[in-house]
Each structure stands twice: as structure tokens, then as C-alpha cells.
A and B are shown apart, each in its own frame.
Chain A
Amino acid sequence: MLETLGNLGLGFSVALSPPILFYAFVGCLVGTLVGVLPGVGPLAGISLLLPATFGLDATRAIVMLAGIYYGAMYGGSTTSILMRIPGEAASVMTCIDGYAMARKGRGGAALAIAGVGSYIAGTVSVIGLMLLAPPLAAFALRFGPPEYLALLLLGLLVLAYMRSGSMVKSLAMAAFGLLLGMVGIDQMSGYFRFAYGVVELGDGLGVVPVAVGLFGVAEILATAGQLAPPSVIRPKLRELLPSRQEWRESAAPIGRGTVLGFLIGILPGSAHIISSFVSYAVEKRLSKHREQFGHGAVAGVAGPESANNAAASGAMVPMLALGVPSGPIPAVMLAALMVHGVSPGPLLIQQQPALFWGFIASMYVGNVVLLILNLPLVGLFVNILRVPYPYLYPAILVFSILGVYAVNGSVVDVWIMVIMGVLGWLLRKLDFETAPIVLGVVLAPMIELSLRQSLAMSDGRYGIFVQRPIAAVLLAVGVTLVLLNLYSFARRGSDWRTRIALAEKGEESP
């Protein structure tokens, strides 16, 4: 414990230096804007801003990108509460009761509860990250290629299982993403695969053009042509203070949302989205006044908003400690760290303590910045939504192209982004999730290398995956998930994932 506090002291000495504070502030500000703007989620935001970090050192870059991530979680609640438009997917549940509160004249209180809940959840979950990541990293030092392969496969299976809707479709998208990740030079044999003479494809498809195409451009293609911006409820500053009754009603949901969000955040999947749905369902089930849900229940705002912020910190645990991204956003952040020559994984904490602990401390600072930024300046952020969409989407498109081009200075990446944009638009129409594709692209080289190294270790015997206890346990968990899904399918009942899928489409409340 004393060692942890000592390390945290080192972290604060890094995080409180003026340049780091500045980049934390910029990240939080941009993240809030990204969260406020419908359609530009944290993934597209981080991908777009990635080139802007190239001139920075690794600590400043990761602090800024993390600020964008949790800033977007804060910002997403603003439009949900005041306009009933989720700024990003994790805020869908906040729309229901947040907007109902706003219509009753309690919009300011809803924003304050969301802001304070997010702050508490963000801060408490950083403590969890701080305590959990180092022992997990120490444990992961025992991992060899078979364990990593089992972990990566488990990650994909959990991702597919946790997604709302069909597991077969999610697994198909994961397989498709892994196939895209096969493009380029084979690391073991040096063969060119599916490059068709395009030299730039030798290094494979970059995660940034794939992510920006699937999430940024696809959103623009889907929403282009929309008419006038919707009306906005503008709360006054003095209305931001919740009543004593509202504070009382929000305390327990904030606590539960924090714990739930952090635990779900560690698991693979779009944790910040799932955690808010699960938190809403839990609060509704535990409430003595279920009839208030959907009509302005305070717990319906406090729980989900706390959960999605806690999940954002939880998602950093496997990324920093194991070097394994648990979803598309940590995958892009992992790629960003690699661009700066840092390899996240078990040795990161030992080899780069200033970066790791500086990052942890910057998250405490970032949460304070976001609280200060979000409540008094809410009116300012809402004004951005008054920019007519015909002017907004060309600007987002310019930033998308700019961001993608700047990574490698290659027009091939722009083409990849355009193709992925069309694909993302079509896949949305056909009701497919695109997040597993991004994760597949990132994990493909790791999975292939681990498989071939494992087989080289065992003289080609596949028994190595069941003879080594950690790998066997991880694979068993993966198989159990597939069986659980088959069981649910055989019963033809609607499980929690089906209900979440319906809720996302606005057809049912979870």
C-alpha cells in the first residue's frame, strides 16, 4: 500500500506539471465537445485527434487521449438530458429519465447529478485501476504465447457475447475484422497477403482509417440530409443545484453504478455502453417506485451516468496491465501508445513508472477538470448543437480525412477510410455491430503470432492449450459463453442482450 502511495506521489508530480495539466484540460475539453456532438463518439474523436499527438511525448499523448475518452462520457449526458439525443451510445439510457426531468424543469438538477455521479464514479474507479493493474500485470508475467492466445480468443468471445443482438452476427464481424487484419506481410514467413502490389498495404490496414471509416464517416453517411436541428432546453445556472431529496435518491445508484461500471469495464466489449444499460435495469429492479422510471426518476440518471464513467476507467485495466484491448476504444489507444514507441503490457509499470503513474494521477485531475468544465459551461456546449448540420458534417469530414491522412501521410489510408465508411453504413442498415471489426483488425496479428509461437513451443501439438492451466481456464470460460448463448437460443427466450438490443432501438425499456 505504501509503495502504491509512493508511486502515486510520483504520478502526481508528473500530472501536476503545467504541460500535462494543459493537455489533460485540452483532452477533457475536446472530449466534452465530442460527447456533445451526436454521432461523433469517443472512438472517432480519439482517432481524429491521434495525429495531433504525434508531436508530443507518450505521457502527454496518452493523457490527452484518455481525457477525450472520459470527457466524451461526461459530454454525452448533456444532449441526452436537454435534447433527448444521446451524444454517444452510452448515454442512451440517460435520455429516458434525464429528458423527462428536463421537461419537468429539473434539467439543471439532472445535469448536476450526472456530473457529480460521473465525477465520483471516475475518481473511485481510478482507485480500482490503481490497485488492480499492478498485481494483474505481475500475474501476466507468467503468460506465454498459449496464455495470450487463450486470452485474446476469450476477449473476442466475450465481446461477441456481450454485444446486444445476435452472437453469430457479432462473431461473423469479429472473423471479418480478423481477416482484414491478415492483410500485409506475414510476420513469420515474409509472404505478402492480399496486398495486390500496393506497397502501403505491406504493413497491414491501420486501425485509425478502419475506425474513422466505420464510426465517423458511416455516421455522416447515415445522418446526411437531416433537416433543422432539434430544440434545446436551456437550464439556468441557479437551477443546477439538486434538492436534498434528489441527492438522497441519487447516492445509492451512484455507488452501485460505480462498482458495476468498473467491473463491466474490465471485461471485453463496449463496456461503457453495456454498463449503462445494466445499471439502468438494476436501478429499476431495486427501486420502490418503478413507476417513476421513464418519467424522470433520479436513479435513472445517476446510475447509468456513473456506470459509463466507471467503465471508461475499468477498460484501462486490461489495456495497461496486459497490453490487451478490451474494446475498440482501448484498441485505438493501444495503437496510439505504440505509435509513440510504448508497448503496454506487464512490463509497462516497471519500465515506464512515470508514464503509468502520471497517467493514473492525470485521471484524478481530469475528473476534477471535467466537473468544473461541465456544470458552469453547459450552456456554451449546448450552443454547438445550434450549428446547422449542413455546416457541421463537412467540417467533421475534413477532420476525418485530415486525421487519417496525417497518420502515415498516405492517400491509401484515405481510400481505406472511404471504403470502411461505405461498409459501416451498409452494415448499420443490415443491423450488424461494427465494433468487433475494429478489435479484430488490432488483435489479428497478435492472435496469429501467438498461435504459431505456441505450436512452435509444443512441436505442433494443440494439447499445449489445455495442458497449461491458465490457458485451459481462459478457453473453458470462452467455451462456456458459447454454450450459454446456444442454451439461450435453444430456449428461444429473450435474454438480457435481446432486451438491450430492443432498448437501443427504443422499442423496450430494459
Chain B
Amino acid sequence: MRTERVSGVALALLAAAVLEECWRLRLPLGTLANPGPAYMPALLAAALLVSGVLIVALGRDAATLGAAGWAEWRHTAAILGACAFVALALERLGYRLTMALACAFLLSVVERKGLVPTALFAAGMAAGTHYLFDTVLRVQLPRGLFGF
């Protein structure tokens, strides 16, 4: 599997999905002289489709997918998990608790740091950024069920 082949096919599939969505959502295409709301998306999807096909066609000598190097995938998955947790919990648990838990997870579970540095970093980061943005810069941050 070559990187260019995979990416070209992915782009072409995405373009096909956009075209299908334009049709499924019944967005009017309009005419060449009077474009409708689906005109530009369809035009761009067509351009993407052509690009995808060209990338596949020209990518015979590209590197293999394995050569791209995926060694960091465990860290990547854990960080993404932490981000997803923040997105889900931010408005439920509040900013400070959510950030403290996410930082604690990253430091203790992912980076295997000790309890004390983890707790200090997580609490300091959550409270410090909250003070800076919410109190000093007046950017309103969410408070959760527990009031913080």
C-alpha cells in the first residue's frame, strides 16, 4: 500500500460522499448562470475527485504506508482520548475539574509520572489557567455540577 494511493482513494471517496450528500439533502444545484447552494460544493467535490484520481495515478513511486512511521500511535490514541473526555465533560463537570482530570490522566497514565508531580501539575494547570482566563481576562469558562 503506497501513501499516495491510500490518500488519493480517500480524497476521491470523500468527494463522492459530498456529491451524494448534495443529492440526498436535496440542495438545489441551480444552473451555470444562476448557481444554487449545491453548485460550489459539487464543483469543489468534482475538483477533489479529479485530484484524488491524479494523486493515485502519479503516486506509483510513493513511500509505503508502513514507512510513514506510526510508532507514536499509543500516545496519539491516549491524547485523543483525553481530548474527547474534555469535550464531553467540559460543560458537565466544569472547566477546572475536567482539565485537572485530563492533565492527571496524561501525566500519570500516559507519561507514568509520580503522584505528587501529577497532582501538583494538574491542580496548578487547571486553577492557573482558570484564574488567568476567567478572572483576569474575563473569558467565561464553564462551571459544572459542583460549582467549579
Query: Does B34 lie within 8 Å of A460, measured CB to CB?
Result: yes
- Which of B36, B48, B140, B142: most chain A CB closer than 10 A? B48
Query: Does A455 lie within 8 Å of B33, measured CB to CB?
Result: yes
Q: Mark B1-32, 1 if CB is under 8 A from A, else 0.
A: 00110110001001000100100010110011
Q: With a CB–CB cut-off of 8 A, which chain A residues contact B44? A: 175, 178-179, 182
Query: Does A172 lie within 8 Å of B52, measured CB to CB?
Result: yes
Additional pairs, 18, CB under 8 Å, beyond known A52-B133, A194-B25: A51-B139, A175-B44, A176-B48, A178-B44, A179-B48, A182-B40, A186-B37, A189-B36, A193-B27, A193-B41, A397-B79, A398-B126, A401-B99, A411-B91, A414-B86, A430-B4, A451-B35, A460-B32
Query: Given that A168-B54, A451-B35, A460-B33 are known contacts, is A391 also in contact with B137, CB under 8 Å in the complex?
Result: no
Does A220 interact with chain B (Cβ within 8 Å)? yes
Does B47 interact with chain A (Cβ within 8 Å)? yes
Bound CA span A429–B102, Å: 26
A402-435 CB contacts (< 8 Å) to partner B: 402, 405-406, 409, 411, 414-415, 417-418, 421-422, 425, 427, 429-432
Query: Does A171 lie within 8 Å of B139, measured CB to CB?
Result: no
Does A395 interact with chain B (Cβ within 8 Å)? yes
Bound CA span A444–B40, Å: 9
Enumerate the 3 nearest inter-chain pairs by beta-carbon distance, A residue then B residue, closest first: A460-B33, A172-B51, A224-B75
Bound CA span A311–B92, Å: 45
Bound CA span A188–B30, Å: 12
- In-complex Cβ contact of A398 among B35, B62, B87, B103 (8 A): B103
Does B60 interact with chain A (Cβ within 8 Å)? no
Q: Mark A154-195, 1 if CB is under 8 A from B, else 0.
A: 000000000000101101100110110010001011010110
Q: With a CB–CB cut-off of 8 A, which chain B residues contact A493? A: none
Q: With a CB–CB cut-off of 8 A, which chain B residues contact A390? A: 107, 111, 113
Q: Closest residue to B122 on the A side, CB-wise?
A: A394
Query: Does A418 lie within 8 Å of B84, measured CB to CB?
Result: yes
Query: Does B129 lie within 8 Å of A399, measured CB to CB?
Result: yes
Query: Does B41 lie within 8 Å of A182, measured CB to CB?
Result: yes
Does B125 interact with chain A (Cβ within 8 Å)? yes
- In-complex Cβ contact of A430 among B28, B35, B48, B68 (8 A): B68
Q: With a CB–CB cut-off of 8 A, which chain B residues contact A171? A: 47, 51
Q: With a CB–CB cut-off of 8 A, which chain A residues contact B107? A: 390-391, 394
Residues of A within 8 A of B (CB): 51-52, 54-55, 166, 168-169, 171-172, 175-176, 178-179, 182, 186, 188-189, 191, 193-194, 217, 220-225, 390-391, 393-395, 397-399, 401-402, 405-406, 409, 411, 414-415, 417-418, 421-422, 425, 427, 429-432, 444, 447-448, 451-452, 455, 459-462
Q: With a CB–CB cut-off of 8 A, which chain A residues contact B27? A: 191, 193
Q: With a CB–CB cut-off of 8 A, which chain A residues contact B102? A: 394, 397-398
Query: Given that A222-B72, A430-B6 are known contacts, is A398 also in contact with B58, CB under 8 Å in the complex?
Result: no
Separation in Å of the B72 CB from the closest CB of chain A?
Answer: 5
Query: Does B133 lie within 8 Å of A51, measured CB to CB?
Result: yes
Bound CA span A283–B27, Å: 55
Separation in Å of the B131 CB from the closest CB of chain A?
Answer: 12
Name the interface size band of chain B. 35 or more
Query: Given that A176-B11, A191-B37, A401-B83 are known contacts, is A224 also in contact with B72, CB under 8 Å in the complex?
Result: yes
Query: Given that A429-B68, A430-B68 are known contacts, is A452 also in contact with B35, CB under 8 Å in the complex?
Result: yes
Q: With a CB–CB cut-off of 8 A, which chain A residues contact B146? A: none
Bound CA span A447–B79, Å: 36
Query: Does A421 lie within 8 Å of B83, measured CB to CB?
Result: yes
Can you give 11 A-B contacts (C-beta < 8 A)?
A: A52-B133, A179-B41, A193-B38, A193-B41, A194-B41, A395-B125, A398-B99, A398-B126, A402-B141, A421-B80, A452-B35
Bound CA span A52–B136, Å: 10
Separation in Å of the B46 CB from the closest CB of chain A?
Answer: 9
Q: With a CB–CB cut-off of 8 A, which chain A residues contact B82? A: 397
Query: Given that A179-B18, A398-B103, A411-B90 are known contacts, is A418 also in contact with B141, CB under 8 Å in the complex?
Result: no
Bound CA span A115–B80, Å: 38
Bound CA span A394–B3, Å: 30
Query: Does A429 lie within 8 Å of B75, measured CB to CB?
Result: no
Bound CA span A448–B11, Å: 22
Query: Does A431 lie within 8 Å of B90, measured CB to CB?
Result: no
Query: Does A225 lie within 8 Å of B48, measured CB to CB?
Result: no
Separation in Å of the A54 CB from the closest CB of chain B?
Answer: 7
Bound CA span A74–B18, Å: 43
B46-82 CB contacts (< 8 Å) to partner A: 47-48, 51-52, 54-55, 58, 62-63, 68-72, 74-76, 79-80, 82
Q: With a CB–CB cut-off of 8 A, which chain B residues contact A460? A: 31-34
- In-complex Cβ contact of A172 among B41, B55, B126 (8 A): B55
Query: Given that A221-B76, A401-B86 are known contacts, is A406 also in contact with B103, CB under 8 Å in the complex?
Result: no
Q: With a CB–CB cut-off of 8 A, which chain B residues contact A462? A: 32
Q: With a CB–CB cut-off of 8 A, which chain A residues contact B36? A: 189
- In-complex Cβ contact of B141 among A186, A189, A406 (8 A): A406
- In-complex Cβ contact of A429 among B11, B14, B35, B70 (8 A): B70
